[in-house]
A and B are shown apart, each in its own frame.
Chain A
Amino acid sequence: MADWEVVIGLEVHAELLTKSKVFCGCSTEFGAEPNSQVCPICMGLPGTLPLLNKRAVELAVKAGLALQCRINQFSVFARKQYFYPDLVKAYQISQDDLPLCSDGYVELLVDDTVRRIGINRVHLEEEAGKSIHAGEDIMSAAYSLLDYNRAGIGLIEIVTEPDIRSPEEARLFLEKLRQLLQYAEVSDCKMEEGSLRCDANISLRPKGSSAFGVKCEIKNLNSFRAVQRALEFEVERQKALLEAGEAVVPETRHWDEAQGMTFSMRSKAEAADYRYFPDPNLYPLEVEPSWVEAIRAELPELPDARRDRFMEEYGLSMYAAEVLTSSRDLADYFEECMEQIKDPKLVSNWVMGEVQRWLKAHGLEAADSPVSPKDLAGLLQLIQANAISNLVAKDVLEEMFATGKSAQTIVDDKGLRQISDDDSLEAMIAEVLEANPGPVADVKAGKTKAIGFLVGQVMKASKGKANPQRVNELIRQKLQD
C-alpha cells in the first residue's frame, strides 16, 4: 500500500482595518443596524464610480511586506463577474493576473523544524454584502434578507503555494498568519465576525511523486479547529478512495461542523467562468518604491524577530518568548512592565501565568487589561522587596483586577504586608512547634518533609503574611541544630 503525501494550499480572506470602505466613504464598523452603512457607491447604484481608499492600499502593502512579498509597482484591478444577490454590481472589484503583492513566504515552527510556506500572492478586493435566509438554509428559505453594510469593505486575499503538508500544519499556518496580520495591524482577524475566512485546497499523492493529485476545495471553514478537522476528514476520505482504486472527483465540498464531514457542493466542471477583465474605471495602481518604504517604516517588529530578541535580550526560554510574542499586545505588555522592573523571569512568569489566565477567563486582550503593565510592576516590586509573599500577591492581583486599586493600596488597606522580623516570627513558630509535637519529633528524627507542614502551619497562623523563606530557615535552625 502506497504511503500518501498530503498537499494543501489555502486561500485566506482578511478584512482590512480601515475606517471606511475600499471604494466609498462608508463606515466599516461591525454590528451596525442592517443597511445603515451604505451609500450609492457601495450599493452599486447606476452611474456610481469607485474611489480607491489609499489607506486600504497601504494596509494591503503592509500585509505583503509582513509576508515577505514583492510589492508590484503596477497592479491592475479587474472585475470578477458573477450573479449573486449580495453582489451589488454583479461583479466584484478584485485583482487577477497583476496582483499588488507576489512571491512571499511564512515560516512556521513544526516539530522543532522551520517550515517555509510560500505565498503566491496577496491582492486587494472588495467585500460582498450578507444574505440572511429566513429558515434553516438557502434551499428551504421562503425569502432572504440582505444587509449591505459589509459590501465594499476592503479585503485582502492571500493565496499560499501548495506547500502545506498536513492538516495540523494548515492550522499552524493560519495561527501564524493571524499573528502576522494582527502585528502589522492590517486586520483584526476575527473569524467569529467573519473578518478572517479560509478556503482550503487539498489533494493526496504517492510519497515521492512530484505530480499533483486531484484536488478538492473545502469551504465553510469557520474556525482554525474546523480547518484542521475538515482537512483531517478529507485526508481520510481521499485516502480511502485512492486505496480502493477509485478516483477523487475534483469538486467544491462543504464542511458540516455538526456532522464532522464534508459534502459535495458542485463539481469543478460546472465551475464559474468569472470573465475577469481590467476595470475600466480604475487605472493601473502605481505604488512607488518610496511609498513602499514609507509603509515599511510603519511596520512594527514582526513576531519572529521579536521572539528572537526576547530570548537574546531577556534570556527567556524559546517557549516563554513564543508565548509572550504570540500577540503584539501581550509582547507590548511584557515590555512595558519590564521598563519598570528589570527581572525578566519574575515578569514573564506573572504575565504568562496569572495575568494571561485572568484575561483569557474574561475574554480580554492584553491591551484591554484593567491592570496596566505599570500596575503589575507595582505588585512585583512588593514581591521583590519581600513585602508580600507570592501567595498573597496572587490574592492582591485578583483584587486589583476586581477593583482597579493599586497593589500598594490593597496591601496597606488590608494589612497584608509580610512579616519578616525574627522576633514576631519566632513567637509564632514557638506556638506552632508546641502545638505539633508529632511533626517536630519527625523532623528531629531526620524526616525533613515535615518541615513543610510546620511552615504551612505558621503561614496559616499568620494569615499568609509570614515570610515563608525566613520561617523555613528559623524552623530548621531551631530543630536541626
Chain B
Amino acid sequence: MQLNEMSIHQLRELLRAGEVSSREILEAVFAKIDAVEGEVGAYLTLCYDEAFAQAQRADEMLAAGETSPLCGIPIAVKDNFSTAGVRTTCASRLLENYIPPYDASAVARLKQVGAVLVGKTNLDEFGLGSSTENSQFHCTRNPWDLSRVPGGSSGGSAAAVAAGEAAAALGTDTGGSIRQPAAFCGIVGLKPTYGLVPRYGVVAAADSMDHIGPMTRDVRDAALVLQAIAGWDPKDPTSARRDIPDYEAALTGNIKGLVVGLPQELMGDALDPEVREAVFGAANLLESLGASVEEISLPHVEYAIATFYIIVSAEISSNLARFDGVRYGYRVAEAEDTVSMFIKTREALGQEAKRRILMGTYFLQAGNYETYYLKALKVRTLIKEDFEKAFQRCHVIISPTTPTAAFAFGHKTRTPVTMYQSDIYTCTANLAGIPALTVPCGYTQEGLPIGLQIMGKPFDEPAVLRVGHAYEQHAGLPLRQPQTEVKTNG
C-alpha cells in the first residue's frame, strides 16, 4: 500500500516509529495528485509550497514529541473554509480572487496540531448542490467511475480522499453534503451534532443547518479528526460549551445490547433495490453482533424536504446577499450607479444560487413569512420531537445514506426537485441537529459504493462511531480501491 492510500492511524504509527516523515507522505500525495488530478479535478487550489513548509514543521514537531495523531497528516479542506492567505472561492466567480485574512476555527485547530493543508477542494457553488456540478470552475469526477459525479456539495473533498490525493478532508454538511459524497465515493463521512464543531470562518450557506465534519478512509480516522476540531469556540455563538469525550476510546467493537432503529419512512419505494438490500444486510450484521434492530417510525419525515428547503433557502438568500462587489470579491467593471452595480455583479452567481435566493426571498416576503417560514420552523420542531421519541427506545438509527449509488453527469441537474428529493435520507439529521455518520456498506453490481447512515442522539458521537466502527470491522467488504489511473471517462 502506498503512503497516500493509508489511513491516518496507519500513518500515525509509521510517523511515531520514525519510519516515514511527513515530507515523504506529502510527496506521495502530490505524486498521486500529479497522476490523477487532471481526471478527477478534486481541487480548486493546491497549496504546494505552504504544504511542504507545514510538513517540515510537522516533522520538527514530531521530533520534539508532538503526540497528536494528525501531526504531519496531509488533509484537504473544502473551499468554503476561510484560510488565511489562501484564496477561498466557494467555487463561485464572485469570490474567485478572495483571500481571507483569517483561518476558520476548524482549520486553525488542524494547523495547531501540525496537520498539513494540501489544498482547497471543489464544491457546488456556496455548497448548493448534490453533485459538485454547480461549481463555477470545473466538475469533479467520481474516482470509482469518471463518468459519474462524486456527489456534493463536498464532492472535491470526497474525491480527494477516495483517489488518494489526501489522507482525509474536511467537508461541510447543510443537508447531506458530507455524507452523500462520502457514500458516493466509498469513504466515511461524519456530520457531528450542531454546535460540536465551531462554524467560525466557514462561509455560511444556512447557519442553522451548516455543520463541519471529517471525511476519511475509515471510522477510526473520523474519530481522530473529530477529536481535533470539536469543542467550544468563543468565536461561534452557537458553539456548545461541554466536555469532549475521547472518541477513539469509544471504538470498542462491542455493540451488544444496543437498540438500532430502522425507520420505515426511510426504507420506502424510492430506494434502489441494491441499496435496500445492502442496508438490510447491514442491519442483519448488526444483529449478529448482538444489537437488536427494531422498526421505528418518524411520522413527520415526509415533510422534511419541504421544511428543509424553505428554511435553508431563506437563510441562503440572506447569507449570499453580502456578495455585492463593494468590499471584496468580484465587481462588475462598468455600472451607471450603485444599484446597477449590485445587480450586474450578482448576475455572476450560478443558476442554483439564484434559484435558492429567489425561493428564500419569496418565503420571507411579507405575507409569506407566516405561511412558509414560520410553519417550516414549527415542522422542524416536530421532526426533532420524532427523533427524541425514537431515541427513547433506540441508541442509534440506521438508514441508507442515499437512495441510489453515484449517478452520471447531467442526470439530475435538469430537474432540481428530483435532486432535492434525494436529500430526504440526510437532511432530517440537519433539521434535528443530530450526529450522522456514513460508512461504506457494499457495492452495486456496477461496482459503485453504497453508504449506510448511522444517526445518534445529540452529542452521542461515541455511540454513532462505535456502531460504525463495529460494522466496518465485521462487514468484510472486499478491499477495493478506485482504479482512477486505468479507468477513463467513458
A319 beta carbon closer than 8 Å to chain B? no
Question: How many residues of chain B have a CB within 8 Å of chain A?
Answer: 44
A352 beta carbon closer than 8 Å to chain B? no
B327 beta carbon closer than 8 Å to chain A? yes
B residues less than 8 Å from A273 (CB atoms): 365-366
Closest residue on chain B to residue A50 by CB atoms: B237
Within 8 Å by CB of A47, from B203, B234, B315, B366, lies: B203
A452 beta carbon closer than 8 Å to chain B? no
A391 beta carbon closer than 8 Å to chain B? no
- Structural contact, B326 and A146, CB atoms closer than 8 A: yes
A residues less than 8 Å from B199 (CB atoms): 47, 49
List A residues 86-143 near B (Cβ within 8 Å).
88-91
- Inter-chain CA distance A276–B366, complex, in Å, is 9
Closest residue on chain A to residue B88 by CB atoms: A46
B58 beta carbon closer than 8 Å to chain A? no
A79 beta carbon closer than 8 Å to chain B? yes
Known: A83-B342, A277-B364. A43 touches B321 (CB 8 A): no
Within 8 Å by CB of A85, from B202, B234, B326, lies: B326
- Structural contact, B200 and A47, CB atoms closer than 8 A: yes
A131 CB, min distance to chain B CBs, angstroms: 9
- Structural contact, A83 and B100, CB atoms closer than 8 A: no
Known: A83-B321, A85-B326. A282 touches B203 (CB 8 A): no
- Structural contact, A275 and B100, CB atoms closer than 8 A: no
- Inter-chain CA distance A44–B321, complex, in Å, is 11
- Structural contact, A281 and B207, CB atoms closer than 8 A: yes
- Structural contact, A85 and B238, CB atoms closer than 8 A: no
- Structural contact, B237 and A277, CB atoms closer than 8 A: no
Closest residue on chain B to residue A23 by CB atoms: B237
List B residues 324-376 near A (Cβ within 8 Å).
324, 326-328, 338-339, 342, 361, 364-366, 369, 373
- Structural contact, B238 and A46, CB atoms closer than 8 A: no
B267 beta carbon closer than 8 Å to chain A? no
List A residues 6-59 near B (Cβ within 8 Å).
40, 43-52
B48 beta carbon closer than 8 Å to chain A? no
- Structural contact, B104 and A47, CB atoms closer than 8 A: yes
A283 beta carbon closer than 8 Å to chain B? yes
Closest residue on chain A to residue B234 by CB atoms: A51
A residues less than 8 Å from B317 (CB atoms): 275
Within 8 Å by CB of A89, from B322, B361, B364, B365, lies: B322
- Structural contact, A45 and B365, CB atoms closer than 8 A: no
A residues less than 8 Å from B361 (CB atoms): 275
- Structural contact, B237 and A81, CB atoms closer than 8 A: no
- Structural contact, B201 and A47, CB atoms closer than 8 A: yes
* Tally of A-B Cβ pairs under 8 angstroms: 96
- Inter-chain CA distance A43–B324, complex, in Å, is 13
- Inter-chain CA distance A273–B361, complex, in Å, is 10
B393 beta carbon closer than 8 Å to chain A? no
- Inter-chain CA distance A116–B321, complex, in Å, is 42
A208 beta carbon closer than 8 Å to chain B? no
- Structural contact, B327 and A88, CB atoms closer than 8 A: yes
- Structural contact, A81 and B100, CB atoms closer than 8 A: no
Known: A46-B204, A47-B104, A146-B326. A275 touches B364 (CB 8 A): yes
A residues less than 8 Å from B234 (CB atoms): 51
B95 beta carbon closer than 8 Å to chain A? yes
- Structural contact, A49 and B366, CB atoms closer than 8 A: no
A281 CB, min distance to chain B CBs, angstroms: 5
Within 8 Å by CB of B82, from A47, A79, A277, lies: A47
A437 beta carbon closer than 8 Å to chain B? no
Closest residue on chain B to residue A79 by CB atoms: B318
- Structural contact, B95 and A91, CB atoms closer than 8 A: no
- Structural contact, B200 and A90, CB atoms closer than 8 A: no
B residues less than 8 Å from A282 (CB atoms): 237
B235 beta carbon closer than 8 Å to chain A? yes
A280 beta carbon closer than 8 Å to chain B? yes
B139 beta carbon closer than 8 Å to chain A? no
**A/B interface sample: 21 pairs, CB < 8 A:** A40-B102, A45-B100, A46-B82, A46-B95, A46-B100, A47-B81, A47-B82, A47-B203, A49-B207, A49-B235, A49-B237, A83-B339, A88-B327, A90-B318, A90-B321, A90-B322, A146-B327, A273-B365, A275-B317, A276-B369, A277-B373
Report, nearest first, the 4 A-B pairs whose CB atoms are least far apart: A90-B321, A280-B208, A275-B364, A280-B207
Given contacts A51-B234, A52-B237, A90-B321, 18 further A-B contacts (CB under 8 A): A45-B101, A46-B204, A47-B202, A49-B199, A49-B200, A49-B238, A50-B237, A51-B237, A81-B318, A88-B327, A90-B318, A90-B324, A275-B369, A277-B373, A280-B206, A281-B237, A281-B238, A282-B237
> Which residues of A approach B to under 8 Å, CB–CB?
40, 43-52, 79, 81, 83, 85, 88-91, 144, 146, 273, 275-277, 280-283
